[in-house]
């Protein structure tokens, strides 16, 4: 559930009245002022935008994700490029899971958490927490930092490793806290849990992970911190650039065209 979900005391009904900047007619080549497609800033950064697919905790694309594209504030994109340049010298790359998130997608998450159904797919991402508790515990928020274009969900990829494993629809995978060989393949370094794992093991400083997993997390946090990004302590994958925040937006994500 990748937050950017820092908890905000806003209700589903109230969020529609807080002045969200919406542009339902935003075209593939027209973004609100100050926003960019990350691939226009640095096409070398790997993208796996999970909320545009069924490979996420909801099990379907979220509202507003018309394309699997990372959209961010321009300043955020430039700083990500600087991070990527430093990582490249170490044969590493950033991999983006989520960037700008339309406000309607956050509300979609809230509705999902309240639908009264628990499935096996849900439990892969929420092995120990009931989905009805995710909002209260700060894993889902009705108003997300992602909607400002200043928050990101990401990980590291070792470019020297074999990252070719793909999801096998016929295979039954373990939950997100399981050893890396047993859980859904993500083509990235082993951070100790899968992406969007709502479990204490997914907390950045979790004591239950291995030394190697802890080292990878510290490496990611350090690389991002050099460019001013701040990590959310409950999610090793979530970072934000506070200075680039501001109003929440609700324009849909459309396909990129050069």
pLDDT digits (tens, 9 = 90+) for 126-159: 999 999 899 888 888 888 999 999 999 999 999 9
Least confident segment among 16-20, 56-60, 221-225, 247-251: 16-20
List the chain domain ranges: 14-244
Residue 232 dihedral angles phi and psi, to the nearest 5°: -90, 120
**Distance in angstroms between the alpha carbons of the first and the last residue of the chain:** 30
Model pLDDT for residues 109-120, shown as the tens digit of each residue = 999 999 988 888
Q: CA–CA separation, 94 vs 96, rounded Å?
A: 6
pLDDT at residue number 9: 37
pLDDT at residue number 64: 98
| pTM of the predicted structure, to 2 decimals | 0.89
Classify residue 221 as exposed, middle or buried by CB count within 10 Å of its CB (0-12, 13-18, 19+).
middle
Determine the average pLDDT of the residues in 154-165. Answer: 97
pLDDT at residue number 29: 58
CATH class of 14-244: alpha beta
pLDDT at residue number 28: 47
* pLDDT for residue 3 is more than 70: no
Determine the average pLDDT of the residues in 152-176. Answer: 95
Q: What angle do CA 111, 99, 56 make, to 5 degrees?
A: 45
Q: CA–CA separation, 235 vs 245, rounded Å?
A: 19
* pLDDT for residue 248 is more than 60: yes
Model pLDDT for residues 5-32, shown as the tens digit of each residue = 443 334 344 444 334 445 433 444 589 9
Please report, rounded to a whole number, the percentage of residues in the chain having pLDDT higher than 90: 77
pLDDT at residue number 1: 58
pLDDT at residue number 46: 99
- The count of other CB atoms within 10 Å of the CB of residue 200 is 14
Q: pLDDT higher for 137 or 206?
A: 206
Query: Across all residues in the chain, what is the average pLDDT?
Result: 90
Classify residue 121 as exposed, middle or buried by CB count within 10 Å of its CB (0-12, 13-18, 19+).
middle
Confidence label for 44 from pLDDT (cuts 50, 70 and 90): very high
pLDDT at residue number 135: 85
Q: CA–CA separation, 52 vs 163, rounded Å?
A: 21
| Distances in whole angstroms, Cα of residue 257 to Cα of each of 32, 46, 83, 254 | 16, 17, 25, 9
Residues 6+ apart with CB under 8 A from 120: none
64 — alpha (psi -120 to 50), left (phi > 0) or beta?
left
Model pLDDT for residues 50-90, shown as the tens digit of each residue = 999 999 999 999 999 999 999 999 999 999 999 999 999 99
């Amino acid at each position: 559930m990748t937050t950017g979900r820092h908890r905000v005391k806003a209700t589903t009904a109230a969020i529609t009245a807080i002045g969200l900047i919406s542009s339902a007619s935003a075209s593939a080549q027209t973004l609100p002022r100050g926003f960019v497609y990350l691939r226009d800033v640095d096409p070398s950064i790997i993208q796996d935008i999970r909320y545009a697919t069924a490979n996420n905790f909801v099990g379907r694309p979220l509202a507003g994700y018309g394309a699997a594209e990372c959209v961010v504030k321009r300043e955020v994109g430039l700083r990500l490029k600087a991070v990527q340049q430093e990582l490249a010298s170490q044969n590493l790359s950033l991999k983006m899971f989520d960037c700008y998130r339309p406000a309607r997608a956050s509300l979609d998450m809230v509705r999902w958490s309240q639908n009264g159904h628990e499935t096996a797919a849900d439990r892969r991402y929420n092995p120990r927490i009931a989905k009805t508790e995710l909002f209260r515990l700060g894993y889902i928020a009705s108003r997300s930092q992602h909607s400002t274009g200043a928050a990101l969900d990401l990980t590291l990829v070792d470019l020297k490793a074999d990252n070719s494993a793909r999801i096998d629809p016929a295979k039954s995978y373990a939950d997100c806290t399981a050893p890396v060989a047993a859980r859904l393949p993500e083509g990235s370094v082993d951070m100790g849990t899968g992406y969007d794992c709502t479990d204490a093991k997914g907390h950045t400083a979790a004591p239950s992970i291995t030394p190697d997993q802890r080292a990878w997390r510290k490496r990611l946090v350090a690389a991002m911190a050099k460019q001013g990004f701040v990590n959310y302590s409950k999610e090793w994958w979530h970072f934000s650039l506070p200075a680039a925040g501001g109003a929440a937006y609700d324009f849909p994500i459309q396909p990129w065209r050069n």
